[in-house]
Amino acid sequence: MNTAAAAPGRSFRRLPEDIMNIGLPEELLHLEAVRSLHQGLGRLYPEVRWHHSQPRRSEAPEVIISEGDACFPFKKTIRTSCSLAGRADALLVPRLVRLDGYLMCPNFRGLPDLVALNLERSSSEPRRPPLISPLIDEQGPGGRRGSLKQAMEALSGTLGLEPQLDPALALTEASNPEDQSTACPGKGCIALLGHPYMLGDKRLNSRIPEIIRSRGYRTITPESVPFARLDRLASERDYYAKTLYWRFARETLGGYIYFSREQPVSGIIFLVSFNCGLDALLRVELAALHRRSEQPVPLLTHVSDEHTQQEHVVTRIEAFLDILDGLPHA
Amino acid sequence: MRITFPNLGSMHIFCKAIAKAASIPYQLPPPTTDETRELGEYYTNESVCLPLKIILGNFIQALELGADTIVMVGSGPPCRLGVYDRTIKTILDDLGYSYRWLTIPGLFNWQAFLQNKAEADQLRRELTPRNYLAFPGALRLGWKKMRCCEQLEHAAMRKRAVAADPRQVDQALKHGLQALDEAASLKELSTGAREALDRLKSLPETGYSPLKVVMVGEVYTVMEPSINLDIERRLGYLGVEVHRSSYFSSHIRRGSRLDRRLLRQREQLLSLARPYLNYDVGAECNVSVAESVQAAQEGFDGAVHVYPFSCMPETNAAAVLSAVGPEIGLPVLGLPLDRKDMDVRLNTQIEAFVDIMHMRRSGRSA
């Protein structure tokens, strides 16, 4: 196996068995495009050992640069990335610009640069692995293949690893999205809307999906519905050229319409983080849609990091579920 | 038809001039106050940025006074400004207002044309041949007024820092802008602008060498005093000369893409941010970083970075500037703005910032 292309003056920890360790922050893995990239790279380079989670609290990473009033998921991603740097031979933080032809939030464009600025100023030098930040900019339907290929080439070029599989094969297999059932047995379904990391990360969503499931409801997310369908629903709200141009804002808006009209659920919970710029505007739009609906599905907007204790979150969710239990259609 | 537009710096002066000269009825929103902001806050949520809240408040107040056609400055992705119209329309529709909406595009392209087409078609039927005939002249007068307002504001920022009594600068600026507002022809405008500038120049000076800072950040926050809590004036009173590149005319010239020299200059400027930002984050983020680096290279004493709390692109710029400032030897005052109740705190912050710049200039470590 080839070793990483090390920058002068930098040293890397190498395990005895000479295993290449790559860090990829867990928050990004909630995005399907990054999961695909990760799976593809896993097939191409089976000898690589991947690391995704932050270490224990006692080993909390040192973050030099203040992220100011950025949202909690953004801060958490930077911190996870910095913590992984200490354990990895290379750090993979893709620069996500556009998915499925729609834009990502500006924070994703600047994320690799902020991670780099933190690493460069970290006092734990010279343990600073190279930062690989392939550009993921899917401008059209065929964009996924091109951007994944570019990402893999960038990774191979920087680390000098030889792929052990035909990249075209890895790409094809990696591009298959996961399938989710949309059936709602038992008490019914609660649809969870929000950015994928809000829906999937327990620290970010305050374990709300678990609370809901413990009360006998099934949780369902827009990921179970093809994005093209959600996109068509979201486009009902576009006018002239005034398109809602963020990828996950469209998924959330389309998801709201889908779960309130196409496949009505018992209730909808919109999980947002404080200061999320996109969700701030979507909250206005969803509230307006909810008010205008003749038979609105109960909607709760939950700002996860506004609560200081888990008990507050549990009480809030239980109150919402109590309302649903009392409704005839629940 | 009665058009209205948001309060944004001296925008009301030249928008009013265009409407008046083209004989189109207009309704100015009342000056932005706490009530304006509170209206915007009430109908949105805590994470919506301050400019949207203020603009929404402006429009509600103008619609209550009889306006029926809203003219709004637009922008493109990925910033939220690009969908302000969509969000504000959603709220105004919910409140039951009846109105029409026209967006002045940030970039003059097909999308901009499409955004306005349906409503512009409707408005076109209400305009008379007299309106059409007067429109080219009205635009010319409006453009000249815009340039004169900016020239005067620019001169006042410099003079305030060295004036023996900075309050006289404010008085002269107020009278000058009023004269420009009232000018009904290009000749009157030219005379008014010259007299206002002469009045500013004639004010007595202290003879001190002022501190020089560059003001960078989100466009609306940089240009609108009610949003940035009049930071230019506050700094001027403490003997600080404020420079900024964000003016209406520069944004319009860049948006029109006619002036290639301006676009090249912009590209050169942005290259200064590349050691820290390898990609265009969006809106003015990279420009904020680049202008701060340029200010350090040109010997400025500091940079003031103003942006609305929760602004996505500028949050990135703030993080970068917090790292870059010490490395390039430039004190940076970052001000995320949201509520007005930070008045006294802001004075304390600015005073401390000015003290640091004075100490650095006199060779003492800060």
Phi-psi category of B9—alpha, beta or left, where left has phi over 0 and alpha has psi -120 to 50? left
Average pLDDT in the B322-346 region?
87
For chain B, give the secondary structure using H, E and C. CCEECCCCCCHHHHHHHHHHHCCCCECCCCCCCHHHHHHHHHCCCCCCCHHHHHHHHHHHHHHHCCCCEEEEECCCCCCHHHHHHHHHHHHHHHCCCCCEEEEECCCCCHHHHHHHHHHHHHHHHHCCHHHHHHHHHHHHHHHHHHHHHHHHHHHHHHHHHHECCHHHHHHHHHHHHHHHHHCCCHHHHHHHHHHHHHHHHHCCECCCCCEEEEEEECHHHHHCCCCCCCHHHHHHHCCEEEECCCCHHHHHHHHHCCCHHHHHHHHHHHHCCCCCCCCCCCCCHHHHHHHHHHHHHCCCCEEEEEEECCCHHHHHHHHHHHHHHHHHCCCEEEEEECCCCCHHHHHHHHHHHHHHHHHHHCCCCC
Quick check: B146 contacting A, CB < 8 Å? no
Position B340 scores a pLDDT of 64
Cα–Cα distance, B22 to A58 (Å, whole number): 69
- Nearest chain A Cα to B47, which residue? A275
- Nearest chain A Cα to B308, which residue? A69
The whole-angstrom distance between B273's CA and the closest CA on chain A is: 11
Phi-psi category of A218—alpha, beta or left, where left has phi over 0 and alpha has psi -120 to 50? beta
Average pLDDT in the B151-173 region?
96
In the predicted structure, residue B303 carries a pLDDT above the cut 90: yes
Chain B residues with CB inside 8 Å of A256's CB? none
Q: What's the pLDDT tens digit per position in A74-99?
A: 999 999 998 898 888 889 999 999 99
The whole-angstrom distance between A242's CA and the closest CA on chain B is: 6
Q: Which of A74, A99, A35 is nearest to A250 (CA)?
A: A99
Position B186 scores a pLDDT of 93
Average pLDDT in the B247-262 region?
80
Position B205 scores a pLDDT of 96
Q: What's the pLDDT tens digit per position in A281-325?
A: 999 999 999 999 988 999 999 998 888 889 999 999 999 999 998
Position B9 scores a pLDDT of 85
Position A182 scores a pLDDT of 64
Question: 171-200 in B: which are within 8 Å (CB) of A?
Answer: none
User: Who wins on pLDDT, A58 or B177?
Assistant: B177
DSSP A246: B
In the predicted structure, residue B172 carries a pLDDT above the cut 90: yes
Chain A residues with CB inside 8 Å of B319's CB? 65-68, 70, 110, 114, 117
Question: 259-278 in B: which are within 8 Å (CB) of A?
Answer: 276-278
Quote the percentage of chain B above a pLDDT of 90: 63
User: Who wins on pLDDT, B76 or A224?
Assistant: A224
Give the contacts of A279 (CB within 8 A, at least 6 positions apart): A194, A195, A249, A252, A270, A272, A273, B47
Question: How many alpha carbons lie under 13 Å from residue B78 in its C-beta half-sphere?
Answer: 27
Position B109 scores a pLDDT of 63
Question: 112-131 in B: which are within 8 Å (CB) of A?
Answer: 114-118
Position A2 scores a pLDDT of 33
Q: Which residues pair with A91 in a beta bridge?
A: A23, A131
Position A178 scores a pLDDT of 45
Q: Which of B280, B237, B42, B109 is nearest to A104 (CA)?
A: B280
Chain B residues with CB inside 8 Å of A66's CB? 318-319, 322
Chain B residues with CB inside 8 Å of A283's CB? 45, 47
**Per-residue model confidence as pLDDT tens for chain A (330 residues):** 333 333 333 334 444 456 788 999 999 999 988 988 888 888 888 888 999 987 665 555 667 777 778 999 999 999 999 889 888 888 999 999 999 889 999 999 999 999 999 888 876 655 678 888 888 888 765 556 666 676 677 677 777 777 777 766 665 544 444 445 667 777 889 999 999 999 999 999 999 999 999 999 999 999 999 999 999 999 998 876 578 999 999 999 999 999 999 999 999 999 999 999 999 999 999 999 999 998 899 999 999 888 888 999 999 999 999 999 887 654
The reply to whether residue A121 touches residue B323, judged by beta carbons under 8 angstroms, is: yes
| Cβ contact A289:A256 at 8 Å | yes
Cα–Cα distance, B351 to B238 (Å, whole number): 8
Position A125 scores a pLDDT of 53
Residue B311 CA, distance from chain mean position: 16
The reply to whether residue A110 touches residue B285, judged by beta carbons under 8 angstroms, is: yes
Chain B residues with CB inside 8 Å of A132's CB? none
Position A59 scores a pLDDT of 59
In total, chain A counts a number of residues equal to 330
Position A186 scores a pLDDT of 73
- Nearest chain A Cα to B109, which residue? A241
Chain B residues with CB inside 8 Å of A106's CB? 78-79, 281-283, 285, 312-313, 316
* Strand bridging mode A102-103 / A95-99: antiparallel
| Cβ contact A159:A5 at 8 Å | yes
Reported ipTM: the value is 0.88
The whole-angstrom distance between A86's CA and the closest CA on chain B is: 21
In the predicted structure, residue B110 carries a pLDDT above the cut 80: no
User: Who wins on pLDDT, A17 or B11?
Assistant: B11
In the predicted structure, residue B106 carries a pLDDT above the cut 90: no
The whole-angstrom distance between B116's CA and the closest CA on chain A is: 8
Cβ-nearest to B310 among A69, A135, A242: A69
The reply to whether residue A242 touches residue B85, judged by beta carbons under 8 angstroms, is: yes
Q: How far is CA A274 from CA A303, A308, B83, B255, B322, in A?
A: 6, 13, 20, 33, 22
The whole-angstrom distance between A287's CA and the closest CA on chain B is: 10
Position A7 scores a pLDDT of 38
The whole-angstrom distance between A121's CA and the closest CA on chain B is: 8
In the predicted structure, residue B329 carries a pLDDT above the cut 50: yes
Q: How far is CA A310 from CA A94, A315, B204, in A?
A: 32, 9, 63
Position A15 scores a pLDDT of 44
Quote the percentage of chain B above a pLDDT of 70: 95
Q: What's the pLDDT tens digit per position in B205-230?
A: 999 999 999 999 998 899 988 889 89
Cβ-nearest to B281 among A70, A109, A278: A109
Cβ-nearest to B315 among A69, A244, A246: A69
Question: The pTM is what?
Answer: 0.89
Work out the pLDDT band at B236, boundaries 50, 70, 90.
very high
Cα–Cα distance, B3 to B102 (Å, whole number): 10
- Nearest chain A Cα to B85, which residue? A242
| Cβ contact A304:A272 at 8 Å | yes
Position A58 scores a pLDDT of 53
Which has the minimum average pLDDT: A199-213, A255-269, B132-146, B335-349? Answer: B335-349
Which has the minimum average pLDDT: A157-171, B20-34, B268-282, B352-366? Answer: A157-171
